[in-house]
Structure 1
């Protein structure tokens, strides 16, 4: 091989090596560019939701909790205090299964944030009575079979207790003819005020009988009053 051929072969070999290096480097750069950077690919650090301390009484016992500010009173009662009597039904305030009493007034606990109740007195179905000493409304529900599956019953009873107090306090309703006069303890009044509590088993008539007994009125009398009102109209 002459000097010219050797020189040409050397140049070719040098070119091929350089070409391979370029191709290898290009492939590596493509791979690197396809991998997201650590900053881009890393999941953002999860932030703890804001929490707030709240203290209120439940069935006469003080409860001091540190809660996510989004926690409903219903979830606080069930998940943080362990009172499972109050039921979660629709979770939209449309069925009444979660009804509890707050400072004597009934509310849908699924629609109320727990942190809104600082200093309040909450009464659940567990606080109305005990198995040994039932609340009169609880006893009446048992006597008149005011339940079937029982899922809605805690809310029904809490609402029924509050309804009788509302009527006694003179709080008007949609079926009251003259809001300037005291409402009557009648079947239409009780049914109207209980309309936000749904019983999918259909125990409504038995619930009304239980409420009437506690209220001290007879269903026959309330039916008669309703018929007379219709005749007069």
Structure 2
């Protein structure tokens, strides 16, 4: 348990260090690029803000397409800025067109990432205990043995032992209600198991299958435990 906590702490620290260093380095070049194209200092700072916000969003929600696109936008701005700074290239129409499109694309994809499926299609679920249904096989009622009839009627014939007749089993449904705290503990255990096995947080479908939740409840519970783990 201690080893896992130390490993997670190191991983988070390295992620934040890498992100901070990358943003600090690229933002300067992006700002210089905007200034080289004639932007006002107060407006030029918006170029690195837009691109870097998109990169952070792509890494936060970890979509392969957006990670590739955001880093491509950041790389294009870096290349253009360093070419201008080294006097290898001068400002030209293609460069102005590309740089002008960086912010609209970053704006579009950042908002697309922020609008998750759960926030668009389902409202917040009400707080209530989950109902977990289990099936318990009922014990068949015992049948009278031959000795009972012998003791009552006292027949003269020899008594032979017999076994209860085979009867169909009845199934009793028992409803077990979990408190929110117990449900959250079970979900956290499933999340830790999923991270250990796959390296990714537990899925909504697994929460539904393991805990008997609706998609809406599983979505809200997953968001709560995954964000709590990251924080």
TM-score normalised over the length of structure 2: 0.19
TM-score normalised over the length of structure 1: 0.19
More helix by share: 2
Larger radius of gyration: 1
